Amino acid sequence: MKAVGGRHLCLLLIAAVVAACSCGRSPFTSTSTAAGLSHDDVKVQVSRVGFDHETGSHYVLLLDETESRELPIMIGENEAQAIMLALRGIKPERPFTHDLIRSIIGKTGNRVDRIVIADMRDEIYYATISMDGGRYSIDSRPSDAIALAMGMNAPIYVNSKLFGSAPTPGLGGGGKIPAIARALGLTVEQLTPDLASYFGQSAGRGVLVSGVSSSAKKAGVARGDIVVKVGDREVRALDDFSRQAAQLKSGGAVTLTLNRGGSNRTVTLESSPAADAPKP
């Protein structure tokens, strides 16, 4: 996706909200909420936001509920930052455009039912925002729609034909997604310079937690934490994390040093390979 400002989405949604308010609210039922969805529309979640150095582009990675299909979409820098902050549960100091739209929609008694990424033409993805029980359908860039949906806790859908059926621009190396590692009930990814700047961390020190199992969550690990040590060994890259986790004895306990908000803290996890799967 090519990066463009959020003004267009803002005007469209404000128009929709004004129309909704002038026409009166429609009742929300399970039937109306499902209206407009195709049998081919698959519910997805935002797995992560990353940066591809080969193309100089940001991307958002969508994952279906079975974690068997994924869809990367190239997005602009501003949209990447908005989605990343929403994904990590961080509120920006000043509101983004989608925060303004969310406030307008909420204050006027309206709602976003869902967004659907339904088509791709000329290597550009197209999305629609469904509002007020399917009463309104608004065209949108996927990045704007995803940011809005995350802020309003609205579901995101992708038409199944888009999974692997069309080339995705960018993501150098033949469309490969940057590597991740899974161990100790965590999914971690490399802390790129851009990611490091978002979290106030030095690049090349630590790996970013993008998925957490229920047991790791209970131990105190959260998405957006940065693992800087496994035991007493420093972690600078994915290979460090994977190697050090593999050397741990099964069933034993391991202490992780995490950086959160610029401060270090420690948590203790079980090193059993049977740990429950991390949630993206």
Query: What is the architecture of the domain spanning 179-270?
Result: Roll (2.30)
> Quick one: pLDDT at residue 229?
93
If one looks up domain 7-173 in CATH, what number appears?
Answer: 3.10.690.10
**What tokens were used for 150?**
């995350």
> Quick one: pLDDT at residue 88?
67
> In the sheet that 57-64 helps form, which strands lie side by side, from edge to edge?
70-75, 57-64, 41-52, 156-159, 112-121, 124-131, 136-140
The Cα–Cα gap between 131 and 105 comes to 10
pLDDT tens per residue across span 36-89: 677 889 999 888 787 776 777 788 889 888 878 888 888 888 888 788 777 766
The Cα–Cα gap between 177 and 199 comes to 21
Exposed, middle or buried, 7 (CB in 10 Å: 0-12/13-18/19+)? exposed
What are the structural domain ranges in the chain? 7-173, 179-270
The Cα–Cα gap between 57 and 54 comes to 8
> Quick one: pLDDT at residue 25?
37
- Residue numbers of the chain with a pLDDT score lower than 50: 1-33, 166-176
Q: Which of 96, 100, 63 is nearest to 81 (CA)?
A: 96
The Cα–Cα gap between 116 and 100 comes to 21
pTM of the model: 0.59
Q: Which of 160, 138, 135, 164 is nearest to 149 (CA)?
A: 138
> Quick one: pLDDT at residue 23?
39
> Quick one: pLDDT at residue 29?
35
| CA contacts within 13 A on the Cβ side of 12 | 17
> Quick one: pLDDT at residue 128?
93
User: How far does Cα 119 stand from its chain's mean position?
Assistant: 20
**What tokens were used for 38?**
């195709």
